[in-house]
Structure 1
C-alpha cells in the first residue's frame, strides 16, 4: 500500500458522483494498492487483504462479494481497465498521471494495457478502450511433449511458419468461455495462448471437455469467480480450486457429516482461495477424498 493524494476535482466529478459511495471508496483504495505505474494484480483476495483487512477478517464472503461488485462497476464505468498479460490478470487505473503526481516513481513490475512500463511514458488509451484482454504478441506454437501433469511450464516452445489445424474441442471450449465473459460485461480475445492452455487442459491435465464446459458456466455465474476468471490461462490455473468450490456450492443443504461447525466450514471455503490450501482441513470438510488407511501386516499376512 502506498500514500496517495486526492485532487479537489475528484469530489466535483460527475462521473464519480454517479457511483455509489462505497464504490468511490474502493477506487481510492485501489489507488493505494496499485504500483507507481497505476497497475496491480486483478486478484480480489489480494485486494481485499490489502485494502479491507478488518472487513475480510470479520466477514469474508460479504467483503469479497461487495468488492467484486464494486470493481466490476468501476470497470464498466471506464475508470479502470482489466486485462490479461501472459495469463496474469491485471488492472490499470485510467488517466493515472492525471490522478497522481509521483516525483520519483518506481519501475513498474507489469505493463500497462498499452504495453508501456514507465510512469513518464505517454499512454495510448485507444489501445485498451477497445474490446480486448491480451497484449498483442506474435503467434506461437508449442511443441507437444510427454510428462507429468504438474510440469506445465516444461513444454519447449518452437517457432513455426504455420499454425496447427484448429481442434473442435479446443475451439468449443475457448468460444464458450469467451461468450460467458463478454455476456458478463468483461473483455476477452481468443488468442494463441488461449488455445494452447485449452489444449493442455484437455490433453495434459486429463480434463473432460464436458466437465470443463459446466465449470465455465458455474464460475461465470458465481458472483466472486466471474470477476476473476477472465481468460483461458487463468481458468486452467484455477481449475482444481473452481472444481472444489463448485462441489461445495452444489452440496445438499444440511449435509454436514464432517463434524465441522459452520464457522469451520467458512474457514475451509476460504482455504480454497489460497494457492497452497490446508489439505487436512479440506479433507475434514469433505472437499478432498480421505487418505487411505494403512493396516499393519503381522506375520507376513
Structure 2
C-alpha cells in the first residue's frame, strides 16, 4: 500500500542526487511511497515500474539501471530477507516521520538498522578506532561502573565527528543508529499521546 511521504528542501540541493538522471531521482522519490515504514521495499523493477511509472514508456532494463545508480550512490542498499530481495532506503528513518505505523512491514526494524549499520561501516561512513588509537588511549575508558560511555574517534571522515555509545555488554551503537532510534522513540511517544487523546 502506498503511503504519503515528505520531501525536504535539502533533497533538491543534494549534489550527489543532482548528478543522476531526472527519472532516476523521481524513481528514488517513488521508492519512499512504496516502502514500508522502516524504509524497505521489494527489489522488483517490474513492480516498481508499474507503481511509479505506470503511464511512461520506460523499459524494465532502464528501471534496473536507475536502481543500480541509486545503489552505487548510497541512496539504496540491496539486501535479502527471508529469501526475498529488498532495497532499503538508507536515510529513510532519519528523514521520514511516521505518524500512524502500517501493519505491513517487509523487514523488521532491528534488521533494517543492522543492514544500514553494516553498510555504513563497509562504505567508510563510520570507522572503527584503530588498534594503535586504542593503545594510545584515545577516547574514554570504562570507569568500572558498568555504565554506558562515549568514545570519540580522531580518524573520523570529513563531516561531523563520530560518537559511539558503548553498552554494558560492550556493543557499539553508532551515532546514526542512535539518531534513528531516538526518532523512532519520539514517534512512538507521539503515537501513544494520540491514542490517549482518543480514549
TM-score (norm 1): 0.37
Q: From the superposition, tell whether residues 113 and 37 of structure 1 become closer, same or farther in structure 2 (CA, over 3 Å).
A: closer
TM-score (norm 2): 0.54
How far apart are the structure 1 equivalents of 2:59 and 2:4?
A: 23
From 53, 58, 70, the counterpart of 1:74: 70
Please identify runs of 4+ aligned residues in structure 1 that moved more than 2 A. Answer: 107-110, 122-126, 128-131
Q: Residue 163 of structure 2 corresponds to which residue in structure 1? A: none
SS at match of 1:128: helix
More relative contact order, 1 or 2 (CA 8 Å, 6+ apart): 2
| Number of aligned residue pairs | 121
Q: Residue 127 of structure 1 corresponds to which residue in structure 2? A: 118
Q: How does 1:237-252 map to 2 (within 5 A)?
A: none
Q: From the superposition, tell whether residues 28 and 5 of structure 1 become closer, same or farther in structure 2 (CA, over 3 Å).
A: same
Q: How does 1:252-263 map to 2 (within 5 A)?
A: none
Tell me, yes or no, if the aligned pair for 1:92 and 1:112 is still in contact at 8 Å: no
Tell me, yes or no, if the aligned pair for 2:38 and 2:109 is still in contact at 8 Å: no
The structure that is strand-richer by fraction is: 2
Tell me, yes or no, if the aligned pair for 2:6 and 2:96 is still in contact at 8 Å: yes
Q: From the superposition, tell whether residues 12 and 112 of structure 1 become closer, same or farther in structure 2 (CA, over 3 Å).
A: farther
How far apart are the structure 1 equivalents of 2:66 and 2:30?
A: 11
Q: How does 1:80-229 map to 2 (within 5 A)?
A: 80-111=76-107, 115-116=111-112, 125-129=116-120, 130=122
Q: Residue 11 of structure 1 corresponds to which residue in structure 2? A: 12
Q: Residue 38 of structure 1 corresponds to which residue in structure 2? A: 39
Q: Residue 23 of structure 1 corresponds to which residue in structure 2? A: 24
